[in-house]
Amino acid sequence: MISLPRSISVSKKINSSLPNRLPGSVNPVEIQPALTKALVSWFKKAARDLPWRHSNDAYRIWVSEVMLQQTQVKTVIAYFHRFLARFPTVNDLAHAPEEHVLHAWEGLGYYRRARALHRAAQSLVQAGHQNLPPDPSLLATLPGMGEYTRNAVLSQAHAMPLPIVEANSQRVLARILGVKDDPSRGPVKKWLWQSAAQLVCHKNPGTYNQALMELGALICTPQKPACLVCPARPWCAAAASGDPESLPLKSVRAQITKVSEICLACSQGPQQSRRWLLLRRPASASRWAGLWEFPHCEVPESVTPGKTMLDLALSLFQAPLPATTTTLGRVKHAITRYQVEMQVEVAHLKNQLQPTSLNHDQHQWFTAPQIVQLPLSAPQRRVWKLLSNLSE
């Protein structure tokens, strides 16, 4: 028997004053046996056929759980197959160059997940493991291994009775237990984790945890939950209230801010062997660290895109841009509360220029076949899609 480290031990005591709850809401312990039995039975009949459910291999489950963070299932499926084909084991992932891992992850976004997955695999192999062992204390030390991911892997791969709380299961738990509060509040989040620990079953913890998430994805949806066919309805305080969609309470969303950017795509050489200047983001960057990109910057307020482009060229080459530019198009993307529109300008340089303000490892001139193999962010890949027509 493996004891749980103090950092992830589960408390059997719940402060009944937290959070705010609907009148008559029950204690999780009172409904645990019947609720978990009903959810497991429902899941065995209604579960979607997803590739990571075909095996209890800890590595495959781990990769799927990391990919599924803030990403839809339908998007993850194709990436999961390609990633596992390229890195079929922990050992393969650990020994792969980071650039290859980032390239395989390209398009999924939140690249910090891929780098953490890579570093965690290296840590496991260095410690002599070929897979994720049933050791909560060890897994707690791995990069990117939060409580949810760790418990999801251990419950599904090693049948350890550990709770999970993520977006779908959080909503399901809040409605069943009548949580009339905002789950993003620290005390409420803590209470939900404690409640989840009381509800998780010991016989099929992995199946139960998946059922909880599946219920949130298919039945107990944010809008118009299908309460009439929900296996948890007999115990659900929100359904009994007649207004399940109102729970849990939602925090106010931040206002969307529009951002304008200019992208300066510089090329050299004849069309048959044209090379493009790309910069590599530093490893310390808060977003897209280590990925390659075409030079770009934000257009400040009260400054024209043309002036911003000239300033960008001057910052790169320490001299005015020795070429005229052509507006190729615009690329739009969203980052949290920002909506970004990037204007793409193309300049073909006749002289062999090198950015004087950058170190050699921060920039490089690439041909079209080389760019295809580079890890780029999704908006930068769309920039290249516009530019690639010029290289054909």
Catalytic residue (choose from 30, 65, 261, 298): 65
Residue written as token pair 């309805």:
233
Cβ contact 26:35 at 8 Å: no
154: number of Cβ within 10 Å: 28
Identity of the residue numbered 279: L
How far is 283 from 137, CA to CA, in rounded Å?
Answer: 28
Please say if 147 is a catalytic residue. no
How far is 48 from 44, CA to CA, in rounded Å?
Answer: 10
* Best CA proximity match to 66, nearest among 124, 20, 115: 115
67: number of Cβ within 10 Å: 23
Kindly give, in sequence order, each residue whose CB lies less than 8 Å from that of residue 156, ignoring residues fewer than 6 positions away: 56, 61, 206, 209, 210
* Best CA proximity match to 202, nearest among 159, 153, 151, 152: 159
Return the structure tokens found at 157. Answer: 């791969």
Q: What is the DSSP string of 271-288?
A: GGG-EEEEEE--TT-SSS
* Chain CA centroid to CA 155, Å: 21
Give catalytic residues, as residue numbers.
65
